[in-house]
């Protein structure tokens, strides 16, 4: 059945928000993701942590449909990403690590474009209200490149959630933001959780992950090293000699992270 350019064949949103099973992604001979499996519950904020090059963005890209996995399966609310990419994409909202929009379009036109691509008809007042809600009401006629970094992130998040997706994927959403903008972003993410959405995010900020995420997975060299609540991971690794060595006082998630992934710098 088709209504106003929209098919109503998508299934109801129930059960696990995301199931990734034995995911492999390769770039030529290099294995970027090597057997990753993870589940995300409905209404959960899940942090994917790892040093640069650990495979976080590749994992997200495979879930988003930007990369074709070598093997493995990805189900978003029981919809197979590879078999039904359109349906799967309609269930997720995505904020990429570096986002850009057509430089010739005004902010209001960008919102209208992306709402349209998700089949959400937005009137001018509705667009204006959405922009006002994220404190961009006065910027509707400006171009994306004319916005500050914080404003760009807020707009990117608005566009990621313009269709009320049950699962939101955020790749380093707070990078480059000042503390005020970061706090505001976390408030919005917290609000998403209260609305029942699930959130999968990557971040380099262990403090934020510890404070905000219900569960985190630490990955390196394409593999998941450990998964659990921040408190459980700290408790489980508290007495490891490497963790004790990394800790300055009370053991934190960052100490566990450093102990598991090593101290050497990554490119």
Partner 1 sequence: MAVPTWSSSLKVLLRADTTAQVRTSLSLVLTFALPLILLVATGLGKNSAVLGGPAFRISLALTVGLVSIGTVGYSLAIARDRDTGVFQRLRVTPAPTWTIMVSRWIVQLGAVLVMAIVVLVVAALFVGVTLPPQDYLFTILVALLGSAVFLSIGQAIVGLIASADTLNAAGRLLYVPLIGLSLFGNTDRLGTTVELVSRWSPGGCLETLLSAAMGATAWTGQSWGALFASFGYTAVFAVIGIRWFQWGAR
73 makes contact with partner 1 (CB under 8 A): no
Contact flag: residue 92 with partner 1 (CB under 8 A): yes
Shortest reach from residue 210's CB to partner 1, in Å: 28
| Cβ-contact 41, 198 below 8 angstroms | yes
Q: Which is nearer to partner 1, 52 or 98 (CB)?
A: 98
Is residue 228 a contact residue for partner 1 (CB under 8 A)?
A: no
Pick from 29, 103, 241, 248 the residue near partner 1 by CB under 8 A.
103
Strand pairing class (167-171; 92-95):
parallel
Number of residues written out for the chain: 267
Helix, strand or coil for residue 63?
helix
CB of 12 to partner 1, least distance (A): 9
Of the candidate spans 15-23, 163-171, 195-203, 229-237, the one that interacts with partner 1 by CB under 8 A turns out to be 163-171
195 lines the binding site for partner 1 (CB under 8 A): no
Residue 102 binding partner 1, by CB under 8 A: yes
CA dihedral sign of residues 212, 215, 221, 222: negative
Q: Does 171 bind partner 1 (CB under 8 A)?
A: no
- Going by DSSP bridges, is the β-strand pair 30-40/18-27 parallel, antiparallel, or unpaired? antiparallel
CA atoms 251, 254, 260, 264: torsion sign: negative
Q: How far apart are CA 253 and CA 235, in angstroms?
A: 10
Residues lying near partner 1 in the complex (CB under 8 A) = 2-10, 13, 64-66, 85-87, 89-92, 94, 96, 98-105, 109, 113-114, 116-119, 163, 165-166
């Amino acid at each position: 059945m088709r209504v106003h350019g929209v098919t109503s064949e998508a299934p109801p949103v129930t059960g696990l928000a995301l199931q990734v099973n034995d995911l492999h992604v390769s770039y030529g001979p290099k294995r970027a993701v090597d057997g990753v499996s993870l589940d995300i519950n409905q209404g959960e904020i899940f942090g994917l942590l790892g040093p640069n090059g650990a495979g976080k963005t590749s994992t997200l890209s495979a879930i988003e449909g930007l990369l074709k996995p070598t093997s493995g399966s990805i189900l978003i609310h029981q919809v197979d990403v590879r078999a039904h990419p359109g349906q799967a994409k309609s269930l997720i909202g995505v904020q990429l690590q570096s986002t850009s929009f057509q430089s010739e379009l005004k902010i209001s036109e960008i919102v209208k474009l992306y709402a349209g691509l998700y089949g959400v008809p937005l009137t001018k007042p509705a667009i204006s209200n959405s922009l006002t809600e994220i404190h961009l009401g006065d910027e509707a006629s400006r171009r994306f490149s004319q916005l500050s970094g914080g404003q760009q992130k807020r707009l990117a998040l608005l566009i990621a959630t313009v269709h009320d997706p049950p699962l939101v994927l955020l790749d380093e959403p707070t990078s480059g933001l000042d503390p005020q903008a970061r706090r505001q972003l976390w408030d919005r993410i917290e609000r998403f959780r209260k609305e029942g959405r699930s959130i999968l995010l990557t971040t380099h900020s262990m403090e934020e992950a510890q404070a905000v995420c219900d569960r985190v997975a630490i990955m390196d060299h394409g593999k998941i090293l450990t998964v659990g609540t921040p408190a459980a991971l700290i408790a489980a690794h508290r007495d490891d000699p490497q963790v004790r060595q990394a800790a300055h006082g009370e053991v934190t998630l960052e100490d566990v992270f450093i102990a598991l992934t090593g101290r050497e710098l990554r490119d």
